Homo-oligomer: A and B are copies of this chain.
């Protein structure tokens, strides 16, 4: 059940990087929701490769087709199946990888688990390409959420050691969201980040970063205590995005360095009589349940493990240590493309609570 997520809304992601197709089956989505297919495609394009200088040169249209669940532009209440056919594959690029696992990729662990049967061409089912179906599911969920007044947006919080201006936790709003291919709030940060990425590309190296994501418009009282709270569910799905190695809510790891008197968020009634908190170090979630304040979380994306510089590895067929040089097309930094994936993941998780 590895690639299935959710309870009330269940998504099943399928496909391999170099197989026939990738896609997702979405079970439990409500009937009668209007889908704007152009917007959905635009959302997927934010993740699609080949559109940007900072991404791989593999070009894929990533055109979503619907096999089921939609009629006359509306959801039917039946399972929705989205498919993206793989068109531009160059499996030969990966030919020398079969017995020599790439460092910090899933090649080795997959080899052990599947005993050599997995289709690992291009990373197989572990490929970052499999985030396209997550974006398809999430893109549909985002449209549904917006119809309910709930909005999800993100920015690049940092790339390498360069940081953007963070969201104002207590006041982040729709106006702070942008859907650029490279969404940052601080133009200087943008310039610096792009320089660093460009340099990494030249050196055959790669960079990671942090994505900050906010969910606004959710009422207080949504979620559950203990194992089925907002944080549990968002983290479960976000770790489904390859390369994510950490997640934190509100001021997260930073809160551990504060006193309680500094970190606590005091309540007050606002002018309309709504309960608010003056600060939002809790990131919109208390006891697994929404407080009505923006949900804010950050996901750590490790540097892309596909790099061109020579690395040490093992040859599983000969049983000897060996050197490895990875050819093929890689992103020097997948963070910009992962922004849409993080939003999509959050959207699916939130829909699983409110549907």
The docked-state distance in angstroms from the alpha carbon of A262 to that of B273 is 52
The docked-state distance in angstroms from the alpha carbon of A194 to that of B227 is 31
One complex includes copies of this chain to the number of 4
Any B CB within 8 A of the CB of A174:
no
Any B CB within 8 A of the CB of A148:
no
Any B CB within 8 A of the CB of A13:
yes
Report whether A264 and B103 are in contact in the complex, using a CB–CB cutoff of 8 Å.
Answer: yes
Report whether B27 and A289 are in contact in the complex, using a CB–CB cutoff of 8 Å.
Answer: no
Report whether B1 and A81 are in contact in the complex, using a CB–CB cutoff of 8 Å.
Answer: no
Report whether A246 and B245 are in contact in the complex, using a CB–CB cutoff of 8 Å.
Answer: no
The docked-state distance in angstroms from the alpha carbon of A256 to that of B184 is 17
Chain B: CB-nearest residue to A333: B260
Report whether B206 and A282 are in contact in the complex, using a CB–CB cutoff of 8 Å.
Answer: no
Asked, given contacts A25-B12, A25-B25, whether A74 binds B1 with beta carbons under 8 Å apart, the answer is no
Report whether B76 and A259 are in contact in the complex, using a CB–CB cutoff of 8 Å.
Answer: no
Which chain A residues numbered 266 to 286 have a C-beta less than 8 Å away from chain B?
266-269, 273, 275, 277-278, 281-283, 285-286
The stretch from A55-63, A113-121, A175-183 touching chain B is A113-121
Which chain A residues numbered 299 to 335 have a C-beta less than 8 Å away from chain B?
300-307, 309, 311-314, 316, 319-321
Any B CB within 8 A of the CB of A185:
no
Any B CB within 8 A of the CB of A108:
yes
Asked, given contacts A221-B109, A291-B109, whether A68 binds B260 with beta carbons under 8 Å apart, the answer is no
Contacts of A265 in B (CB 8 A): 103-104
Q: Mark A1-17, 1 if CB is under 8 A from B, else 0.
A: 11111111010111110
Chain A: how many interface residues by the 8 Å CB criterion? Answer: 146
* Contacting residue for A19 out of B20, B68, B229, B258, CB 8 A: B68
Contacts of A6 in B (CB 8 A): 1
**Shortest beta-carbon distance from A279 to chain B in Å:** 9
Of A161, A257, A277, chain B has the most CB atoms within 10 Å of the CB of A257
The docked-state distance in angstroms from the alpha carbon of A267 to that of B313 is 4
The docked-state distance in angstroms from the alpha carbon of A112 to that of B35 is 22
The docked-state distance in angstroms from the alpha carbon of A325 to that of B252 is 26
Any B CB within 8 A of the CB of A198:
no
A108-B220, A266-B312, A267-B313 provided; 14 other pairs, C-beta below 8 A?
Answer: A4-B12, A14-B68, A19-B69, A31-B114, A78-B125, A101-B267, A103-B277, A108-B267, A112-B292, A206-B260, A235-B239, A235-B247, A248-B300, A264-B305
Closest 10 CB pairs of A and B: A106-B287, A246-B248, A2-B224, A206-B260, A112-B221, A109-B289, A31-B117, A260-B303, A246-B252, A32-B117
Instruction: Please list the residues of chain A having a beta carbon within 8 angstroms of any beta carbon in chain B.
Output: 1-8, 10, 12-16, 19-23, 25, 27-28, 31-32, 65-69, 71, 74-81, 83, 101, 103-106, 108-110, 112-119, 124-126, 130, 158-161, 200, 205-210, 220-229, 231-233, 235-237, 239-240, 242, 244-253, 255-269, 273, 275, 277-278, 281-283, 285-292, 300-307, 309, 311-314, 316, 319-321
